[in-house]
Amino acid sequence: MIAEALDLFPGGVNSPIRAYRAVGGDPPTLVRGRGSHVWDQDGREYVDWVGAFGPLIAGHAHPTVVAAVTAALQAGGPFGVTTPAEVRLARLVRERMPSIERIRFCTSGTEAAMSAVRVARAATGRRLLVKFEGAYHGHAEALNDPDGLLVAPYNDLEATSRLPLDGAAAVVVEPVAGNAGVVPPAPGFLSGLRELCDRHGCLLILDEVITGFRVAPGGAQERYGVRPDLTVLGKIVGGGLPVGAYGGRADLMDLVAPAGPVYQAGTLAGHPAVMAAGEATLELLDAAAYGRLEQLGAALEEGLGEHGRVARVGSMLTLFCSDEGTFAALHRRLRDRGILVPPSQWECWFISIAHTDEDVERTLEALR
């Protein structure tokens, strides 16, 4: 299969990280997942700490999610009009993230980030954007092209304050950095950004594609008590199906078409099956679920600490090895013992509510 994939797709994949370049070897050919475990085409079972890079907080094929998606597909659609499923999911999001007064669903985090930036530019009449080293906001050009982009060191408020923020449309930040390994925000960093933005008339955009509904019911904005102007969402809000969303202050979101001049549209935006998966997933995430994620995270963190430096916020964590070669060797050995971790030490391990104490034990045993 891999040889054919290499012939059909650039680098053999539909998203670069899947090529396993950082750890070497061929990626496993996974064909089935259930709860916290996945199986390859030869029937080998693995404990899965990748979780599809974030969306699968309910684990694979959670019965409630599968039932909701199945019912939505059987009901037909998409219908090309707004459906009750969109309204229900938007309501759930707003209850958990009150800063999102209005929301627009789209089909990827990249699209959501790109659109939020367009809203910020329209609202401020400025083009310049500020982001942070090591951040990833999808492949939107505006957030990757050094032209018109200022990049500050993450967690360095002083350096950020020296940037020409009077000319910036927005400061875009992952409230917990998750694409350079997990880096929690330093105390006062996010609230400091909020103050800087207010002082200089630019917008604060929190990219909660990873952290949204993961690090707290209301995401990092709840956990750290910061109110952004706009929020970018993805991953969990679609329950494992393709999704993105952006939302925030009503006056800003009313700049989006057809309410306003920022044209942004999507044939499959708000797809009923995606909305159903998102709704079913969010409903599984009650207080007990977050308690369980925290408990599993703490146990994993403690055990992993013997093997490197661990950074963790709730159910996202990173094991930093001394170098990439050490991590690659560790990745291979874990895989041989039936444990799958992300194929780069700069990606988070994601814990789901389907993980068990036994999964943690098995992982720590394999590491020993």
Ligand X SMILES: Cc1ncc(COP(=O)(O)O)c(C=O)c1O
**Interface with ligand X (CB under 6 A):** 53, 108-110, 113, 136-138, 174, 178-179, 207, 209-210, 234, 244
Q: State the catalytic residue, choosing from 235, 246, 290, 359.
A: 235
Q: Quick one: which of 136, 138, 127, 128 has its CA closest to 154? A: 136
C-alpha to C-alpha distances, 151 to 148, 198, 228, 347, nearest whole angstrom: 10, 19, 19, 20
- Least Cα distance to 36 among 360, 352, 366 occurs for 352
Of the pair 39, 349, the CB lying nearest ligand X is at 349
Closest approach of Cβ 361 to ligand X, in Å? 29
CA 220 to CA 185: how far, in whole Å?
A: 10
**CB hemisphere CA count around 347 (13 angstroms):** 23
Q: Which is nearer to ligand X, 113 or 285 (CB)?
A: 113
Tell the smallest beta-carbon distance from residue 143 to ligand X (Å).
9
Query: What one-character DSSP code corresponds to residue 348?
Result: P
Measured from each CB, the residue nearest to ligand X is: 109
Q: Which regions of the chain does DSSP assign to beta strands (E)? A: 30-34, 37-40, 45-48, 102-106, 128-132, 149-152, 168-173, 203-207, 230-234, 244-248, 309-313, 316-320, 339-340, 349-350
Residue placing its CB nearer to ligand X in the complex, 246 or 327: 246
Closest CB to ligand X among residues 203, 367: 203
> Shortest distance, CB of residue 275 to ligand X, whole angstroms?
16
- From 207, 246, 290, 359, the catalytic residue: 207
Q: Which helix (H) or strand (E) holds 262?
A: none
Structure-block tokens of residue 47 = 């404990």
**In the complex, what is the shortest distance from the CB of residue 62 to ligand X, in angstroms, rounded to a whole number?**
20
Residue 298 and residue 38: Cα distance in Å, rounded? 23
Instruction: Give me the least distance between CB of 108 and ligand X, in Å please.
Output: 4
Is 207 tagged catalytic? yes
SS (H, E, C) 5-43: HHHHCHHHCCCHHHHCCCCCCCCCCEEEEEECEEEECCC
Active site residue: 20, 46, 48, 136, which one? 136
Considering beta carbons, is residue 33 or 240 the nearer one to ligand X?
240
Active site residue 235: yes
Active-site residues: which are they?
136, 207, 235
